[in-house]
Amino acid sequence: MKQFLIKRLFYLIPVIFGVSIITFGLINLAPGDPAEIILRSSGVEPTMEAVAALREELGLNDPVYIQYGRWVLDVLHLDLGESYRTGRPVTEEILYRFPATLELTVAAIFFMLLVSMPSGILAALHRHAFVDHLSRIWALVGASLPGFWLGLLLIYYFSVKLGIFPVMGRGGLEHLVLPAVTLGFGMAATYARLLRASMLEVLGQDYIKVARARGLKEKLIVGRHALKNALLPVVTAFGMSFGHLLGGAVIVETIFAWPGVGKFFVDSIFNRDYPVIQGYALFMAVVFVIVNLLVDITYVFLDPRIRLEKGSQT
């Protein structure tokens, strides 16, 4: 276990290095000279002299590797620069809004589990029955339904027409329902199908037949013996899906005016607030890497074969 963790962390070093290079390089994608952009955004006429002075001040005339080194040092001090728009440190802006995004994502995952677990298991137990067909149709629709359209439809019916939920903004539980459902809907459909396939595979295994022959209760066999094995591939897939969730959160936050990192990021794009865009990319990569690490640890806890096999396998 310890060895596995050390290996896993060690493996992260080149990845984090690469991530930092990509994030640093992002600024070069922006059209125009950074100094000019800064001057424009602060309302100063970018004359040749002003631009040259600012370039010197920002160290933009130094060799790239020195700029990179300076940037990394700043990042290590949690300094991601200041937002052109608000003038406040990017780190502060992001951390201030992150709880809202976290709340939304966790709620979406909760909704996804709440729906996909029972329907996946039921579909596997009653293959080709009504439940199974229903879950297949739902999976097809779920994978094809644009999340932003679903969000708009939900707002239209539940907020505008029926007035059950508030239209937008963050607040109590009633504010959370529609955004979480929007974000989790497609994923719930996919995971129900994934769990069904995995359950069917496991239910066909010898040890399930033997467990039945041992006279164990069906509830115990399905809920414990089969489920724990069936969850392994689902957990693996979850790491990747979390990335989709973070991307989806950007759109959902925009639709529901949810005051999270994603909404802030989209607003920054239209204000050409490059430090925020850059900071957002780095922050999301860090979150994604941490979540995937947690997923791997969960997997290890579920599967003793990896936990106890010394050194081998990852």
Partner 1 sequence: MSKREFRCLDLLTGVVLVLESIEAGTEKRVKAGMKSFTFGTGERFIISPIYRLARDKMALIGLGIIIVIVAVGIFAPYLAPHDPVQVDLNQKLARPSATYPLGTDHLGRCILSRLIYGTRVSLSTAMLVLTVIIFISVPAGTISGYVGGRLDNIVMRVIDILLAFPGLVLALVVAGMLGPGLLNVMIALGAVWWVGYARIIRGMVLSVKEKEFILAARSCGTSNSKIIFRHILPNVLSPVIVLATLDMGSLILAISGLSFLGLGAQPPVPEWGAMLNDGRPYMQVAPHLMLFPGLAIMLVVLAFNLLGDGLRDAFDPKGIMRV
Partner 2 sequence: MVKAVNGVSFDVKSGRTLAIVGESGSGKTVTVLSLLGLIDPPGKIVSGEIYLDGRNLLGLSREELRRLRGKDMALVFQDPMTSLNPVFTIGTQITETLICHMGIAGAEAKIEAIEMLKRVGLPHPEKIIKRYPFQLSGGQRQRVMIALALSMNPRVLIADEPTTALDVTVQAQILYEMRQLIKDCRAGVILITHDLGVVAELADEVAVMYAGSIVEYGDVYEIFDNPLHPYTKALLKSIPRLGTKDEVLRPVLGQPPSLIDLPGRCAFLPRCEHGAGGCRAGVPSLEEIIPGHAVACHRVITAKPEEVTLRALA
* Residue 229 binds to partner 2 (criterion: CB under 8 A): yes
User: What's the closest the beta carbon of residue 202 comes to partner 2, in angstroms?
Assistant: 10
Sequence-separated (6 or more) residues with CB below 8 Å from residue 242: 288, 291, 292, 295
Taking CB under 8 A as the criterion, the residue among 10, 163, 270, 308 binding partner 1 is: 270
Q: How far apart are CA 91 and CA 266, in angstroms?
A: 16
Contact call for residues 168 and 154 (beta carbons, < 8 A): no
* Residue 223 binds to partner 2 (criterion: CB under 8 A): no
User: Residues 132-141: contacts with CB within 8 Å, 24+ apart?
Assistant: 132/196, 135/189, 135/192, 135/193, 135/196, 136/193, 138/189, 138/192, 139/189, 139/190, 139/192, 139/193, 141/189
Taking CB under 8 A as the criterion, the residue among 2, 13, 31, 305 binding partner 1 is: 31
Please count the residues of the chain: 314
Instruction: Considering the complex, state which of residue 109 and residue 227 has its C-beta at the smaller distance from partner 1.
Output: 109
User: What's the closest the beta carbon of residue 210 comes to partner 2, in angstroms?
Assistant: 5
Taking CB under 8 A as the criterion, the residue among 304, 310, 311, 312 binding partner 2 is: 304
Q: Tell me the number of residues near partner 2 by CB under 8 A.
A: 23
* Residue 244 binds to partner 1 (criterion: CB under 8 A): yes
Taking CB under 8 A as the criterion, the residue among 30, 64, 78, 294 binding partner 1 is: 30
Among residues 243, 280, 266, the alpha carbon closest in space to that of 98 is found at: 280
* Residue 211 binds to partner 1 (criterion: CB under 8 A): no
* Residue 277 binds to partner 1 (criterion: CB under 8 A): yes
Taking CB under 8 A as the criterion, the residue among 24, 254, 298, 303 binding partner 1 is: 254
Q: Tokens 């003793």 correspond to what residue?
A: 304
Q: Which chain residues interact with partner 1 by CB under 8 A?
A: 14-16, 18-19, 21-22, 26-27, 29-31, 128, 140-141, 143-149, 152-153, 155-156, 160, 242-244, 246-248, 250-251, 254-255, 265-266, 268-270, 272, 274, 277, 280-281, 284-285, 288-289
Q: Which chain residues interact with partner 2 by CB under 8 A?
A: 205-207, 209-218, 220, 225, 228-229, 232, 302-305, 308
